[in-house]
Amino acid sequence: MAVRPIVRYPDPALRNPCAAVDTFDGDLRALADDLLDTMRAAPGVGITAAHIGVLKRVTVIELSREDGVRVYVNPIIENASDETARHTEGSVSMPGVTDEIERPARIRVRYQSLTGEHVTEDADGFLATCIQHEIDQLDGIFWLQRLSRLKRDRAIKRWEKMLRAPG
């Protein structure tokens, strides 16, 4: 278990789709543990292997310690509601920059556990938002791409200003 360096925006690696996991072993469990440690240190509530430069379809989400850690391997959204909800989103690859994004309010996600077991789960609220956000990243879609051009340009300017700030 280790905190790994996080790939920062605008690194082109954040636009690469991740490959499906086909080996469920100790290396995969170690990757999930490293993702959890890295996410907590960031801090964040979700992280993908792509955020640490590993192009595998693995994401870890922990909305709170009470809710527990969720690991999704090879997640796919099977169904999404027509009803939408807005939540503030950001990224461990662009800390300090957030904006509201509208997404389906409820989803059904199919994924595999760390042992390869197939699981289907229904999610709503902030969990549904987080799962969709992380699956986007696994598909090579950075969250800024979900913003209007104006909001995206403003978010990038805020990020660039933060990078230039002393300290």
Average pLDDT over residues 107-119: 98
- The mean pLDDT value for 48-55 works out to 98
- What number is the average pLDDT over the span 48-52? 98
Does residue 5 sit within a domain? no
Classified as helix, coil or strand, 121 is strand
What positions carry a catalytic annotation? 134
Q: How confident is the model at residue 167 (pLDDT cuts 50, 70, 90)?
A: low
pLDDT tens digits for range 126-138: 999 999 999 999 9
Number of structural domains the chain divides into = 1
1 domain-assigned? no
pTM: 0.96
Structural domain for 106, as ranges:
12-164
pLDDT value of residue 157: 97
Of the pLDDT bands very low, low, confident and very high (cuts 50, 70, 90), residue 166 is confident
Q: Which runs of E-coded beta strand occur in 91-129?
A: 98-104, 106-112, 118-124
Q: How confident is the model at residue 165 (pLDDT cuts 50, 70, 90)?
A: confident
Indicate the residue type of 161. K
Helix (H, G, I), strand (E, B) or coil at 43: coil
Position 88 in a domain: yes
User: CATH code at 59?
Assistant: 3.90.45.10
Using the structure block, give the residue that is written with the tokens 């938002």: 129
Q: Is 160 within the bounds of a domain?
A: yes
Q: Write the CA distances from 40 to 65, 100, 142, integer angstroms.
A: 10, 22, 20
